[in-house]
Structure 1
């Protein structure tokens, strides 16, 4: 095989055919689940970029293989595995599982041959390339580009790139990436070079440099040590393929030092006569096929003036053909009528916008397999899938090698492919959405799940701890109905944070203590369980013993005034402050001693003042005697703020209803257990706030599943707002889960949640609320059907854990949540009320 490139420098490629190509990597935009406005904006941006191109550019989309080791490397990046062996255990288990999958990622590239400054110089370059080829055949050293030529083409490429505004972002490709593209072409179906290695390679690898005024570099001919056979069979076995005739073997056998594979190429032969947008995104839809597919679109950009002139000539030809049917009783054929109407429409659009251009495209798709049977099956999947949308693709017999070469960077357009040219305006071609993406998640972090929008296996990573370092919020919100998988999602995120060195505080509202059981099983020896409902003799929330004296005194004063419903600046509030200060200054401060100090202070006064302070002490004695109050005034060991996983169980904690907070009359008449519950909740919030904001170097998450009961209180909503609003500065975030986004609290809280998840909701109204939470159209029938019927269908237990995700880059996609195959996690994460833990389904 002849390698079409002879020199690489930066993102410029000198070809054996005499042309110089500039190569860019395109960063596509999330599209599939975007709002109608976002789709329209991407279509406009794509159209704008196409109009800015010239000559004969090449759009190349390659399905790159991802190594399981690279995914795990991204999982452990920044984590000290010696200090956190639990994460090493998770990474090793995930590696074993990922190695069984065919992992891929889609990449997009834009290649453009750069014109010479003058036609004579272009002819000279072609002649020089021919001379170089001849020199190699004769054993002579071929001529090499001069330094001023390199500088001139680099300046030209820079000008072209500066004009690519308003569309998807592009960046210059590196020589290593270009070499990967060549290597990928011959290694489809066998183990070959990984794009991740090329991305991390030294920019100088494979590049030529200017030395002595000339461009000199490594020879690239070694990349062409490949044997390509049209219709080749394994070991010459005609029976194995079932296609003994060479005319029926429409594939290439590609043999390289790394193995033998089979590639089949399909050319787009026919398109629908009418396009609708949205609905014509056929190139974007290729990414959703259940087999990996590479595609290449060879374009020829025709200027507005030239395209309009050509349309006039065609119109005259059609008019002459119509005249031939004068007197014909059957009339003019409908095909001529339709062609004339299409031409009129094209001319009208060309005249209406002088920036409009004609795009002549020839598109090739490639599939591959380990043997002829597999490649045949995959080619048929592509053909039938595309045919369903009224696009016809064919596999030219005897032309497979030409199509293979058409997809190589820097190769000329083969004559065969010109026969499949499609004629469209830029706005029409852009409807195919060549630069749409289904990518989701972060570059590093924990393995959250698998992307469901791409037809092949693509992991989704989540790095909440890294979000603050990128000036992004680390808070998330998860919405879904009962049993949809919110708790499993939050638990999977939480245990990954803990195993990677973070801290988590969770509030467990379940009667069965679901989160406490999960903490004990998934993080043994690293958790604390606090019965905030007073249901046991566990840890104590005495602020004077939990916090440092100064901080503890502050929280104690606020807790006591809130518990009694007295203003901080009232006589009772001042007495409480005085008693707390005295107690905090003692050798062994204790909340029960605050009551003793109040009695001593009362003795220092006489009359009504003494009675008020004494009554305040008596009220606190009543709280102390209550079962709920003992967790604040009792003698149990104080909470350790340094634990990795603290779970507050609040199932028996009663709170006033939301509407009660606005009425002082009704608040004063609440039951004692409700008033104590509200005050205890304040202490829970105080602990969460203090731990979350104490050490910005260690990420802390506060998990509030079924948070509606918490955010209905002033204290709970203040905690959520403070975590979401200020968490980024302190390396902290809130993990909120509920059935309705409205339960998260104010619009500010909802708006600042960076990562958002929507799980199954069979109720159409709640599903619409969830879609609106993601920024999607709540009235979109297709999206509503997706959420109500096609996310984790109840009838299909194998599809548990499906969700729609909005990530920090505002990309939207579907994923299936993956639970790490580690027994301590799988045996506890699926606990449901009244049932024992069950392992995940294979």
Structure 2
């Protein structure tokens, strides 16, 4: 049967229909949901209840699943990027575009359509008609969403043809999702879309025998401009029954089932009507009375029909009680249509079976009503006239229970623009994850990042991916590398102008007197780091002597430019002095000679360069103290020299990074892999706190990596790190610690512990290797308090991907 689309005329976001109605359609900005805390989800439900309480009757809620516009994705990746100075980042973005194109991410478009009234339109609407209806729509909008919870934005005129054409080609052809005008600039050269003519064949009778010509399905046929005919096989499902109790949150969000089903494209529409509380309760009393009469007539019978009547009585009584106890509640009548599309009838049959099974697990029975498919299909087109079939399949509930459906939600993560680091797994649509951590300072957000996960889970791979982005975008970073194999060296070799520092075979000095230009800062850092190294108390006589020697005026007068100069000066003074002064000077000289650290006392070594894009400091040969040795006084007093030296050099690198990056100018990041060596020290905690609290002011970031975030990220500063990533952790306690650190409610969502342990980049087989398509999976908490699941990519360029890989090559024995 040939179709007639409902739109007679359209102006702006207004629609005049052939049956005399006028409608206004708006984009709906879905509210962040994901794995957030129950109180946050309750706020989302409250926003939905406010919306439904203010909507006029026959409001249409619509959600379409469409392919994401990849050109828009690439433009978002290049936001605020100087294209003339970042050729490596441009290459990475182009390579990443090809990778995303293979994934074919989707998105959900949410709209809401309000009836404005009747208008007998003859020809085109006049300017006066348009002005009057625009004023009516604006007045209605201030009532419907007064607090802008959903940030309703008028749709462009071209959206209605897009929806119509999408419905005709559902599941069989690709189109790009239209832009929300609030987030995109309209094109002045793009052609105006129009309504394509189409045919709906209910039951696909044109290709079946008469015996099967009443199958509950549709075949949509549409001819494109170039003459190609597209066939789309579709089915309209609707809920037939809901379980008696659908707890919120966790069970009532039945529409969230529609995303994340492989190779199944599903749209949904919901038409809602309201009835005030008093009228609803009066009607319920009448229905209860009729049910009571039926039960009275069957009071002596025992059968399944009697049991069904009692269940209806109990359900209606419970519903009436909810209205009676909540004076703000009203009744909602809603009809829901789930539209499934596929390129072939076999694919459609498989998709329907998958959907029914998904809803069956929730206790919801959905079906494809025979003979009503065409009418239900029309409901997904804004402005379609009301039909009795919508009443046939409607359900009734109270507004607080309807709000528990939370239809307008999203599982977005991270940022709207910036480099693409992976895809969103929680939403099921594989939208790209943009992470604009370099530009977070422009939004007054800390660019600090913390990562957790077991060995081999992907922490270092992700860290190296982030710092390669920093290098490509003209920032700089300093990495403390503890690995024996020097896992950051290949990446270093791929970045021009990089610096490698090995502390046991140094080419540069870490002498604080030579690295820090401010003499007061150099004195303070030297006393804080070198005195503990020499095992000399600050308040002792030798400690006081060194403090006096390092006074800026004294250093300038005696030309003390390095620790080696200080050592030689004290030796000369000891030869000339007598008594207690000589003893103190000899004590300091002997302690310095005992350290045997050329990286501190060799004046021939040049200072470490501070302008290099990439600096890697290898500390694998350093003997570092344990947490107990650092925190227990008696253990710290007996630390061997090598551990004292390792501890001092570790702190000096952090202090140098602080001085290098915590100042206005070029973005810089301190990267600490296996962070417990760093965060266990007093100086390390102080440096982390300064990067977290003040990095935003100075365009500086910090990237920390740990196996146990509860133990290693325990300070106040760590709690302020907004961007958190938890990779696989198979140890139960550590998995629990990781999820709690992200902000997950473990008691309510205990099942996520198993997800992190067993279904996050799971190793399989004898070699316990992770399949390539499962690598990089993790849980994410972002700066907006959202929690979700994602899959992290490495660099898209092959050369850079090889440079960041940490998987060792297979060794043949």
Using the size of structure 1 for normalisation, the TM-score is: 0.86
CA deviation after TM superposition for structure 1 residue 443, in Å: 1.0
Distance 2:758 2:269 in 1: 36
Corresponding residue for residue 118 of structure 1: none
1:703 aligned counterpart, secondary structure: strand
Corresponding residue for residue 810 of structure 1: 785
Instruction: Indicate how the Cα distance of structure 1 residues 632 and 150 shifts in structure 2: closer, same or farther if over 3 A, else same.
Output: farther
CA deviation after TM superposition for structure 1 residue 754, in Å: 0.6
Corresponding residue for residue 213 of structure 1: none
The answer to whether residue 453 in structure 2 is matched with residue 480 in structure 1 is: yes
Instruction: Indicate how the Cα distance of structure 1 residues 353 and 557 shifts in structure 2: closer, same or farther if over 3 A, else same.
Output: closer
CA deviation after TM superposition for structure 1 residue 303, in Å: 1.3
Instruction: Indicate how the Cα distance of structure 1 residues 502 and 237 shifts in structure 2: closer, same or farther if over 3 A, else same.
Output: farther
Corresponding residue for residue 340 of structure 1: 313
The answer to whether residue 283 in structure 2 is matched with residue 310 in structure 1 is: yes
Distance 2:776 2:581 in 1: 62
Determine which of 750, 756, 764 is the counterpart of 2:732. 764
Distance 2:62 2:329 in 1: 23
User: Are the counterparts in 2 of residues 30 and 438 from structure 1 also a CA contact under 8 Å?
Assistant: yes
Determine which of 473, 481, 488 is the counterpart of 1:508. 481
User: Are the counterparts in 2 of residues 575 and 601 from structure 1 also a CA contact under 8 Å?
Assistant: no
Distance 1:44 1:334 in 2: 35
Instruction: Indicate how the Cα distance of structure 1 residues 806 and 781 shifts in structure 2: closer, same or farther if over 3 A, else same.
Output: same
CA deviation after TM superposition for structure 1 residue 508, in Å: 0.8
User: Are the counterparts in 1 of residues 202 and 374 from structure 2 also a CA contact under 8 Å?
Assistant: no
Corresponding residue for residue 512 of structure 2: 543
Distance 2:196 2:70 in 1: 28
Corresponding residue for residue 623 of structure 2: 654
Distance 2:7 2:811 in 1: 63
Corresponding residue for residue 367 of structure 1: 340
CA deviation after TM superposition for structure 1 residue 202, in Å: 4.8
User: Are the counterparts in 2 of residues 23 and 173 from structure 1 also a CA contact under 8 Å?
Assistant: yes
Corresponding residue for residue 382 of structure 2: 409
Corresponding residue for residue 246 of structure 2: 276
User: Are the counterparts in 1 of residues 27 and 112 from structure 2 also a CA contact under 8 Å?
Assistant: yes
The answer to whether residue 317 in structure 2 is matched with residue 349 in structure 1 is: no
User: Are the counterparts in 1 of residues 203 and 216 from structure 2 also a CA contact under 8 Å?
Assistant: no
171-180 or 273-282: bigger deviation = 171-180
The answer to whether residue 128 in structure 2 is matched with residue 157 in structure 1 is: no
CA deviation after TM superposition for structure 1 residue 806, in Å: 0.8
279-288 or 9-18: bigger deviation = 9-18
Matches within 5 A, 1:13-412: 13-114=15-116, 122=117, 125-126=118-119, 128-129=120-121, 132=122, 135=123, 145-146=128-129, 149-150=132-133, 152-163=135-146, 168-175=149-156, 178-179=159-160, 180-182=162-164, 184-186=166-168, 188=170, 189-196=172-179, 201-202=184-185, 223-230=194-201, 238=207, 245=213, 247=215, 250-257=218-225, 260-277=230-247, 278-290=250-262, 291-328=264-301, 333-397=306-370, 399-412=372-385
CA deviation after TM superposition for structure 1 residue 149, in Å: 2.1
CA deviation after TM superposition for structure 1 residue 462, in Å: 1.1
Corresponding residue for residue 694 of structure 1: 663
CA deviation after TM superposition for structure 1 residue 182, in Å: 5.0
Instruction: Indicate how the Cα distance of structure 1 residues 443 and 485 shifts in structure 2: closer, same or farther if over 3 A, else same.
Output: same
User: Are the counterparts in 2 of residues 442 and 460 from structure 1 also a CA contact under 8 Å?
Assistant: yes
Instruction: Indicate how the Cα distance of structure 1 residues 391 and 273 shifts in structure 2: closer, same or farther if over 3 A, else same.
Output: closer
Instruction: Indicate how the Cα distance of structure 1 residues 790 and 243 shifts in structure 2: closer, same or farther if over 3 A, else same.
Output: farther
CA deviation after TM superposition for structure 1 residue 706, in Å: 1.0
For 1:782-834, what per-residue CA distance to the aligned partner results, in whole angstroms no more than 9, with x for missing partners? 11211222212222722222111111221111111112232223223232468
Instruction: Indicate how the Cα distance of structure 1 residues 801 and 621 shifts in structure 2: closer, same or farther if over 3 A, else same.
Output: same
Distance 2:682 2:811 in 1: 36
Instruction: Indicate how the Cα distance of structure 1 residues 495 and 202 shifts in structure 2: closer, same or farther if over 3 A, else same.
Output: closer
Distance 1:246 1:318 in 2: 35
CA deviation after TM superposition for structure 1 residue 689, in Å: 0.4
Instruction: Indicate how the Cα distance of structure 1 residues 331 and 602 shifts in structure 2: closer, same or farther if over 3 A, else same.
Output: closer
User: Are the counterparts in 1 of residues 203 and 218 from structure 2 also a CA contact under 8 Å?
Assistant: no
1:27 aligned counterpart, secondary structure: coil
Corresponding residue for residue 753 of structure 1: 721
Distance 1:570 1:364 in 2: 81
For 1:222-272, what per-residue CA distance to the aligned partner results, in whole angstroms no more than 9, with x for missing partners? 622322332598xx9949x99984756533223343762515142314123
User: Are the counterparts in 2 of residues 707 and 736 from structure 1 also a CA contact under 8 Å?
Assistant: yes
For 1:248-306, what per-residue CA distance to the aligned partner results, in whole angstroms no more than 9, with x for missing partners? 65332233437625151423141234123132321122123222321111111111122
Distance 1:110 1:197 in 2: 13
User: Are the counterparts in 1 of residues 341 and 348 from structure 2 also a CA contact under 8 Å?
Assistant: yes
Corresponding residue for residue 501 of structure 2: 530
CA deviation after TM superposition for structure 1 residue 356, in Å: 1.2
For 1:613-664, what per-residue CA distance to the aligned partner results, in whole angstroms no more than 9, with x for missing partners? 24323322333xx2x4435535333311111111111112223333444566
Instruction: Indicate how the Cα distance of structure 1 residues 678 and 250 shifts in structure 2: closer, same or farther if over 3 A, else same.
Output: same
Instruction: Indicate how the Cα distance of structure 1 residues 677 and 739 shifts in structure 2: closer, same or farther if over 3 A, else same.
Output: same
The answer to whether residue 646 in structure 2 is matched with residue 677 in structure 1 is: yes
Distance 1:402 1:531 in 2: 74
Structure 2: segments with no counterpart, 5+ residues: none
31-40 or 7-16: bigger deviation = 7-16
CA deviation after TM superposition for structure 1 residue 740, in Å: 1.1
User: Are the counterparts in 1 of residues 237 and 366 from structure 2 also a CA contact under 8 Å?
Assistant: yes
1:224 aligned counterpart, secondary structure: coil
Instruction: Indicate how the Cα distance of structure 1 residues 56 and 836 shifts in structure 2: closer, same or farther if over 3 A, else same.
Output: farther
2:802 aligned counterpart, secondary structure: helix
Corresponding residue for residue 530 of structure 2: 560
Using the size of structure 2 for normalisation, the TM-score is: 0.89
User: Are the counterparts in 2 of residues 175 and 205 from structure 1 also a CA contact under 8 Å?
Assistant: no
Matches within 5 A, 1:560-599: 560-566=530-536, 572-573=542-543, 575-577=545-547, 579-580=549-550, 581=552, 589-599=561-571
1:111 aligned counterpart, secondary structure: strand
Instruction: Indicate how the Cα distance of structure 1 residues 791 and 640 shifts in structure 2: closer, same or farther if over 3 A, else same.
Output: same
CA deviation after TM superposition for structure 1 residue 454, in Å: 2.8
Structure 1: segments with no counterpart, 5+ residues: 115-121, 136-140, 208-217, 838-842
Distance 1:145 1:328 in 2: 67
CA deviation after TM superposition for structure 1 residue 692, in Å: 1.8
CA deviation after TM superposition for structure 1 residue 375, in Å: 4.0
User: Are the counterparts in 2 of residues 527 and 643 from structure 1 also a CA contact under 8 Å?
Assistant: yes
CA deviation after TM superposition for structure 1 residue 32, in Å: 4.2
67-76 or 603-612: bigger deviation = 603-612
Instruction: Indicate how the Cα distance of structure 1 residues 786 and 64 shifts in structure 2: closer, same or farther if over 3 A, else same.
Output: same
CA deviation after TM superposition for structure 1 residue 456, in Å: 3.2
Instruction: Indicate how the Cα distance of structure 1 residues 408 and 836 shifts in structure 2: closer, same or farther if over 3 A, else same.
Output: farther
Distance 1:242 1:504 in 2: 72
255-264 or 704-713: bigger deviation = 255-264
598-607 or 809-818: bigger deviation = 598-607
Distance 1:506 1:361 in 2: 57
581-590 or 607-616: bigger deviation = 581-590
CA deviation after TM superposition for structure 1 residue 104, in Å: 0.9
User: Are the counterparts in 2 of residues 707 and 743 from structure 1 also a CA contact under 8 Å?
Assistant: no
Distance 1:531 1:673 in 2: 15
The answer to whether residue 704 in structure 2 is matched with residue 723 in structure 1 is: no
Corresponding residue for residue 828 of structure 1: 803
Distance 2:691 2:304 in 1: 75
1:694 aligned counterpart, secondary structure: coil
Determine which of 751, 758, 765 is the counterpart of 1:789. 758
CA deviation after TM superposition for structure 1 residue 570, in Å: 6.0
